[in-house]
A and B are shown apart, each in its own frame.
Chain A
Amino acid sequence: ETGVTQTPRHLVMGMTNKKSLKCEQHLGHNAMYWYKQSAKKPLELMFVYNFKEQTENNSVPSRFSPECPNSSHLFLHLHTLQPEDSALYLCASSLRTEEGDEQFFGPGTRLTVL
């Protein structure tokens, strides 16, 4: 595998379910990101991890819980979601969290909350 991979690619869940999204990067990067992309809206940054430490939480509701066990893996744990949380969730990585560092994106997980 190369680049940034995300699993699953598609997920349908009920509001009472608990599920997790997984992201893995094979680029030797130290920073990883979660973005939410809703229809007709710009990409919204959710979380940033730098060397496994969370450096940004962009006022994300607690029903989204990130986990970064090492610099190559990033998870997004989901519970008690709402229908408005349906979106494309994109993971990205970069060498550092410096301004100007190019972010490499995964293909995303298309989440539908019923």
Chain B
Amino acid sequence: AQKVTQAQTEISVVEKEDVTLDCVYETRDTTYYLFWYKQPPSGELVFLIRRNSFDEQNEISGRYSWNFQKSTSSFNFTITASQVVDSAVYFCALSPTIYNQGGKLIFGQGTELSVKP
């Protein structure tokens, strides 16, 4: 089965706190891609990162960092020193390969992050 689970439905933090959004995936593929998207109140999904299953190196981009662990099928996202502008719904998504049907992205249910001043 191809599935993405984001167990945290809502998270609320105070500005400047660090916050980690969890993502666990299931796939039988040995090659696949993982994504994170941000959906601000305006509605448009904004691409944040893409990861190939062969590249387990963690990545940092400014205040954002991602921890990819194949052993636990997790691809967690951490925001350091959160800001009010980080408030949004964050989606983790899986793009399988062998079982992919035309560019399908399998999304988790999303985590709504609220950063309060």
A-contacting 9-mer, from B14-22, B60-68, B74-82, B95-103: B95-103
A105 touches B44 (CB 8 A): yes
Does B13 belong to the interface (CB within 8 Å)?
Answer: no
**B side interface size, CB within 8 A:** 28
Q: B103 contacts which of A101, A104, A107 (Cβ < 8 Å)?
A: A101
A41 touches B109 (CB 8 A): yes
Known: A31-B103, A42-B108, A94-B103. A100 touches B45 (CB 8 A): no
B103 touches A103 (CB 8 A): yes
- Measured as residues with beta carbon below 8 angstroms from the partner, the interface class of chain A is 20 to 34
Known: A48-B102, A55-B102, A99-B100. A42 touches B43 (CB 8 A): no
Q: Which residue among B31, B43, B103 has the maximum number of chain A CB atoms within 10 Å of its CB?
A: B103
Contact residues in A for B97 (Cβ distance below 8 Å): 99-100
User: Roughly how many angstroms separate A50 CA and B45 CA in the complex, as a whole number?
Assistant: 21
B104 touches A110 (CB 8 A): no
B91 touches A43 (CB 8 A): yes
Q: A106 contacts which of B44, B101, B107 (Cβ < 8 Å)?
A: B44
Interface residues of A (CB under 8 A from B): 31, 33, 40-43, 45, 48, 50, 55-56, 88, 90, 92, 94, 96-108, 110
13 A–B contacts, CB within 8 A, in A order: A42-B4, A45-B105, A50-B102, A50-B103, A88-B43, A90-B45, A99-B96, A99-B100, A99-B103, A100-B52, A102-B50, A105-B37, A107-B42
Interface residues of B (CB under 8 A from A): 4, 31-33, 35, 37, 42-47, 50, 52, 91, 95-97, 100-105, 107-110
